[in-house]
Structure 1
Amino acid sequence: MRETFIDTTSALLAEDPRTALVLADISAAAFAPAAGEHPDRVLNVGIREQLMVGVAGGLALTGLRPIVHSYAPFLVERAYEQLKLDLDHQGVGAVLVSVGASYDRAAAGRTHLSPADVALIDTLHDWTVHVPGHPGEVPALLRAAVAAEGSAYLRLSVLHNDRPRGGDGALQVVRDAGPGAPLLVAVGPVLDAALAAVADLAVTVAYTHRPRPFDGAGLRALAGTEVILVEPYLAGTSSRVVSAALADRPHRLLALGVGRAELRRYGSPEDHTGWHGLDAAGLRRSVSRFLEPALVPAGG
């Protein structure tokens, strides 16, 4: 996804003189050719993430459309105050693009982990959040975000599904188990594991790469009594929007994602996926426990 983002952003800088890019050293070498061609619109502020967002806010005030890029914890957590003040409070927008996701760089330690980034963005006003599930989804999402107004956050990861799904972010039914079946909503790169987890269960599976704004109308059209939410970041991040969409209906919600407890381990992204129960086996255990009453045969 990172390479696709670099290629797409470089093309946007060449195509649209309104586009700018602000970096804080991360990916600066990869953008060196673009910086050579557009030195007034590709700015590297060094390892100063708060300044990076402040500069983006200033560029936006001049009418440019800034893309701001770094690792998720540096871009969202470290510079949160600047997102709040230099973008939201000033009434201007930018496109934030992160790498690292929840634990892609687990070998680098806790400084590079950011399972709470989407939850933090959710405290800001009217942001669009995209969590692509495949590199092939990135170009269209980035181009649409740059062409739009307001602020957007694209969360890139080394983890991905086997193929792109595309779409505008409305819930896509990937597996239909029929009316009244439990509904599992998978966000971004957790789709393949979710499909494997319920392969032999009567569970409808829907996919989205856009948790904000969440497709509440699509959820209402698909949901029965049991809803399972699987997200690749902090567990429960989208619980409030799911519950709000179904506020007038009796329902049960299981929210799965990255746990709140700090594991204090290194390992690989795949290791952390398993430790947080987001691999197929872990999801199967959680879903089976949740659905156990519904899975008992009638009269059993």
Structure 2
Amino acid sequence: MRDVFTDTTTELLTEDPRTALVLADISAAAFAPAAARHPERVLNVGIREQLMVGVAGGLALTGLRPIVHSYAPFLVERAYEQLKLDLDHQDATAVLVGVGASYDRAAAGRTHLSPADVSLIDTLHGWTVHVPGHPAEVPALLRDAVAGDGSAYLRLSVLQNDRPHGGDGSLTVVRDAGPGAPLLVAVGPVLDAALAAVADLPVTVAYTHRPRPFDTVGLRALAGTEVILVEPYLVGTSSRVVSAALVDRPHRLLALGVGREDLRRYGSPEDHNRWHELDSVGLRRSVDAFLTGALLAAGR
């Protein structure tokens, strides 16, 4: 995904003179050719992430469309105050592109982990959040975000599904178990694990790469009584949105995602998926317990 982002951004810088790119050393080497061609619109501020966002806000106020890029914990967590003040409060907009996701660089330690990034973005007003599940989904999402006029966050990962699923982010049914079946909503790169987890269960599976704004219309059309939400970041991030969308009907919600406990471990992204029970085995265990509870509650 990161390579596709680099290629697409390089193309955009050539195609659209309104596009700018602001870096804080991360990926500077990859964008060196673009910086040589467009030195006035490719700016590397050094290891100063707060300044990076402030510069992007200034560029936006001059009429440019800045893309701001770094690892998720540096881009969102470290520079959160600048996102709040230099972008939102100034009514300036930008396209943030984060890499590292929740624990892609777990081998680098806790400084490079950011399972709470989407939750933090969710405290800001009116942002679009895309969590692509495959590299082939990235170019269209990035181009649409840059062509728009609102603020957006693209969350890129080394984890991916076997194949892309296009669309505008509306819930897409990838497995239909029929009317009234439990609904599992998978966000981004957790889709394949979720499909494997419920392969022999009567569960409808829907996919989205756009948790914000969440497709509440699609959710209401698909949801029965049981809803399972699987997100590759902090557990429960979208629970309030799902619950609000279904507030007028009886429902049970199981939210699965990255746990809040600090594991204090290194390992690989796949290790962390397993430790947070976001692999197919862990997801199946959680889904079985949830659906068994639903049957008991119904007296079956």
TM exceeding 0.5: yes
Q: Distance in 1 between matches of 2:74 and 2:193?
A: 28
Secondary structure of the corresponding residue to residue 69 of structure 1: strand
Q: Distance in 1 between matches of 2:250 and 2:121?
A: 29
Specify the alignment match of 1:71 in structure 2. Answer: 71
Specify the alignment match of 2:255 in structure 1. Answer: 255
Q: How many matched pairs?
A: 299
Specify the alignment match of 2:39 in structure 1. Answer: 39
Q: Distance in 1 between matches of 2:267 and 2:19?
A: 38
Specify the alignment match of 1:187 in structure 2. Answer: 187
User: What whole-Å deviation, never above 9, does each CA across 1:84-143 have from its counterpart, x for those lacking one?
Assistant: 000000001000000000000000000000000000000000000000000000000000
Q: Distance in 1 between matches of 2:248 and 2:149?
A: 33
Name the CA shift for 1:18/1:204 in 2 (closer, same or farther; >3 Å): same
Specify the alignment match of 2:108 in structure 1. Answer: 108
User: Superposed, which structure 2 residues align to 1:145-156 within 5 Å?
Assistant: 145-156=145-156
Normalization by structure 2: what TM-score?
0.98
Shift of 1:299: 8.6
Q: Distance in 2 between matches of 1:60 and 1:133?
A: 29
Secondary structure of the corresponding residue to residue 14 of structure 1: helix
Secondary structure of the corresponding residue to residue 228 of structure 2: strand
Q: Does 1:171 align with 2:171?
A: yes
| Contiguous gaps of at least 5 residues in structure 1 | none
Secondary structure of the corresponding residue to residue 219 of structure 1: helix
User: Superposed, which structure 2 residues align to 1:280-299 within 5 Å?
Assistant: 280-294=280-294
User: Superposed, which structure 2 residues align to 1:13-52 within 5 Å?
Assistant: 13-52=13-52
Q: Distance in 2 between matches of 1:195 and 1:226?
A: 17
The AA in structure 1 aligned to 2:257 is: G
RMSD, aligned CA: 1.1
Q: Distance in 1 between matches of 2:233 and 2:281?
A: 18
Specify the alignment match of 2:274 in structure 1. Answer: 274
Q: Distance in 2 between matches of 1:46 and 1:7?
A: 22
Shift of 1:219: 0.2
Q: Distance in 1 between matches of 2:44 and 2:215?
A: 36
Q: Distance in 2 between matches of 1:79 and 1:276?
A: 27
Q: Distance in 1 between matches of 2:262 and 2:234?
A: 12
Specify the alignment match of 1:55 in structure 2. Answer: 55
The AA in structure 2 aligned to 1:19 is: T
| Contiguous gaps of at least 5 residues in structure 2 | none
Q: Does 1:159 align with 2:159?
A: yes
Shift of 1:212: 0.1
Q: Distance in 2 between matches of 1:5 and 1:123?
A: 26
The AA in structure 1 aligned to 2:187 is: V
The AA in structure 2 aligned to 1:116 is: A
Specify the alignment match of 1:224 in structure 2. Answer: 224
Shift of 1:150: 1.1
Secondary structure of the corresponding residue to residue 39 of structure 1: coil
% identical aligned pairs: 86
